[in-house]
Amino acid sequence: MNSKPITRYLTAALTVLALVHGGPAFSASTSHQNHNPLPSWNDGKAKQAIIAFVAQVTEPGSPDFVPPAERIAVFDNDGTLWPEQPMYFQVLFALDRVKALAPQHPEWKETEPFASLLKGDVKGALAGGKRAILDIIMTTHAGNTTEEFETIVKDWLAKARHPTTNRPYTDMVYQPMLEVLDYLRANGFKTFIVSGGGIEFMRPWVEDVYGVPPEQVIGSSIKVEYEMRDGEPVLVRLPELDFYDDKEGKPVAIHQQIGRRPLAAFGNSDGDLQMLQWTTAGKGPRFALYVHHTDAEREWAYDRESSFGRLDKGLEEARENGWTVVDMKEDWNLIYPHEAK
């Protein structure tokens, strides 16, 4: 490490800042020179591409230097920061909600998709695709206040276990992507989640797990209504779609809620394609990365044929445009944080 006075000064400054701020410190623009900032990444094209891009836009004096305020990075969640198999984790949450709510809804025994779900026929109930899933989600996610729902999500996450790994869902985040989030933030990037998942399903835990504050979480949403209950204002969740943050919806949400075009976008499916197109169509250097699920042993291997996280057209465009494609099996030396020794 450089030991020039300015470097020492800077390090001291950032240490103090971290103490004062109580959160991840904004760090020097030379952080990308840190020794191995992405330890869970094997040396290879993907890792090199990430590091080279960060250097290109943050090196003072670089012709492609971008001021910190404009360093926006957007991340899909399902399949990009945590898995989406055997199905989106939020769907698994919704299925548990159906079971929990069933005693209050005797009519569900004869109403689809609930009847199939309650008989254990998940596949039949989900045959209607993403929109059908959203309908199930809306029914099981509405009718309570925003604060009640937050508690329901937290309680579920504390107890629920993944059907095949038997681990808490929040243990199943990708360690290499946690490192990318940290690395970008250490280089002055503001990291956002832009997910097809529900904002209120993500916000209760993503700050602790990913270091992304709630105001930087963009996702699908249902409508909420302001109401006075016993003189206290509450926001009540309605069974009505507000915004579906997938495909063309992603650049739209990025524009409406961030208002700047990202410098870098990370996804894993065709649902992220428009977000990557929109990002890379900006002027100057831009970065796009697809996580390709190639590791059937440590995670899952799927792309063109998958019901969840289908990656087909995106893979073609990545090849045509020279986007970075992560081969999970080859590029990541570990998948989950608990694998670290």
Query: Which residues form the interface with a copy of itself (CB under 8 A)?
Result: 9-10, 12-14, 16-17, 20-23, 26, 28-29, 67-69, 72, 146, 188, 190, 199, 203, 207, 213-217, 221, 224-226, 232-233, 235, 242, 248, 251-252, 255-260, 274, 277-278, 281
From the number of C-beta atoms within 10 Å of its C-beta (0-12, 13-18, 19+), residue 297 rates as: exposed
Half-sphere exposure of 140 (CA within 13 A, CB side): 27
* Minimal distance, residue 199 CB to a copy of itself, in Å: 7
> Among 105, 76, 330, which Cα is nearest to 202's?
76
* Minimal distance, residue 333 CB to a copy of itself, in Å: 32
Q: Which of residues 283 and 341 has its CB atom nearest to a copy of itself in the complex?
A: 283
CA distances from 296 to 80, 302, 314, 329 (A): 16, 8, 20, 8
* Minimal distance, residue 280 CB to a copy of itself, in Å: 9
Q: Which of residues 232 and 297 has its CB atom nearest to a copy of itself in the complex?
A: 232
* Minimal distance, residue 124 CB to a copy of itself, in Å: 33
Q: What's the token pair of residue 272?
A: 């992220």
Q: How far apart are CA 154 and CA 147, in angstroms?
A: 11
Q: Provide CB contacts within 8 A for 240, sequence distance 6+.
A: 138, 142, 222, 223
Q: Which of residues 260 and 338 has its CB atom nearest to a copy of itself in the complex?
A: 260
Q: Which of residues 120 and 284 has its CB atom nearest to a copy of itself in the complex?
A: 284
Q: How many CB atoms lie within 10 A of CB 164?
A: 10
Q: Which of residues 107 and 147 has its CB atom nearest to a copy of itself in the complex?
A: 147
Q: Which amino acid is at 117?
A: L
* Minimal distance, residue 192 CB to a copy of itself, in Å: 8
